[in-house]
Structure 1
């Protein structure tokens, strides 16, 4: 891939769903030759091609080449997650004096929106181009009662790729009833484009993290990272820190925890995390408005699903899911995740790619 004179977005068929719906893949390309591919099924980011220090491009996210494996996307590869990213204990919460029971799809808990979730539905796609960016807006209406959630939720997710190799993810939602909302994207990154991520270096801008119980539900404590393998405030090799003996690492089988991001007063987007691959020189920085980021080190990838040219094997990629805190509807001291009629849910995350 080489630099081009202008940005572009193209559409191509990607497959047909069992109900006959036709799925398309949209390719966003900037002037630097960077490409991002997005499906209108699940609002899935299926490919991200970025250059290394020598200008050689590689696809740095996990995904599939056909639609069929995405129909059983138990790892949520590349998808938008909703209504509520991460877990809700026992799928239960109370709101305004009424008890709700959500789908339990990660026994005994509710995970990533439930049995259907936003990752398993068609979205309406509208591509667009600007002088200095290219993108796609994806919209859907989640009906009252979907996976047990109250109210109709109208959602828009915008992916925009600029000419500085930054991919912006903007989320917008409104509701006609009070409902929990916590949207995120579940892309799996491997900046080498192959192998595992144990040699990747990770920095997370967080003084605290959320310890979890055996079911991966936060205990409620906002624990200090000092003296633990969760102190990633300085660049840390994943393969070194993940082997440090610690009860929370044992429970998660590695990293699968939400970090409480440090905030700079008055700053809209805060630097959440930086990932470096020292071999290729690729760097990814994640900026967000969200109060947390879930760092997941691919602990449950087992090679049973074959992705683009290779198996999605153990720790072959990592996730940085910017979000509010897990189980927030049940933990009053966590940042609020309840959206009410007349309010607007609006948040942005930016993944910026470079090489050094």
Structure 2
């Protein structure tokens, strides 16, 4: 089988997985004895609406909450006024702003509710779905002033920065950030950085090119976040191909501005689509340390990374099994057993057990031995398993 045939087969696998019927219904809440955090925010009285009528963060509108998240993006702005189409897939200068995203009142942890033809839903409805309602551009100074203001109101002056992966639109990055922030009951500033992913399963190679191109912009943004946000505890979360940009950019920042390293409380790598050998040799030594361990979630059931391995010919850093990453300063979590969708690639935001683990890490500053994970000791190192 030649490389082109492997490429087509891998894309077919991903396409088939992405086209699979969505999960129906909601997951039942886990039993109390499982000690899984299940935040259920009580309805809050709506503060004064903004001039456009959209409630501020935490406010309510009918049967949904509105979560405000901050964005930075080097996608080119379009001419569209439709929130989901304000930013396209072309490269552009870095711009800043906020997004308002709806979270249905009957939202369940791990669900990124969206219209489904299987339920005869053909339009987004904020009362049923996680919807990008509004995009509000800001100038850089105003943006960081607002980010700092949000940070100062949080316990511990916290900021969470999410970098999305391959095949993700700006709108979906905003939706995922709001959902994670809501599910984690994060009280600091939720921020996402959106690089110009094409948002199309067939454009993997274009995304690979753009995730490399974006690194210079991301280095500068990480420096600004560290110096202009007033955050004392910054949590970095990357998914899939987004790990390439985040890890390389952070390594650059740590080398150029070592005094900023202490601002970054956690680096969390989920399903990293990075060559495993490259990660071991070129990346891990520059981002990990005994005083600042990196958390890496991996899975042997991740079909997207299985496809990536077929395309590239080598294991990925997010693979579990025989090639699991075991390195000093890296706390590796095997999430193979978690309940997730058919593709098994977005468990970081979908599986209640993973979200509960992230909650313990972010809110309680607990390392794996205290998070109820199963320790596995091997001749080459130890790792932890997360239950279903």
The TM-score by the shorter chain falls in which range? under 0.3
Larger strand fraction of residues? 1
State TM-score, norm by structure 1.
Answer: 0.27
TM-score, L = length of structure 2: 0.25
Higher relative contact order (CA 8 A, sep 6+): 1
Which one has a larger percent helix, Structure 1 or Structure 2?
Answer: 2
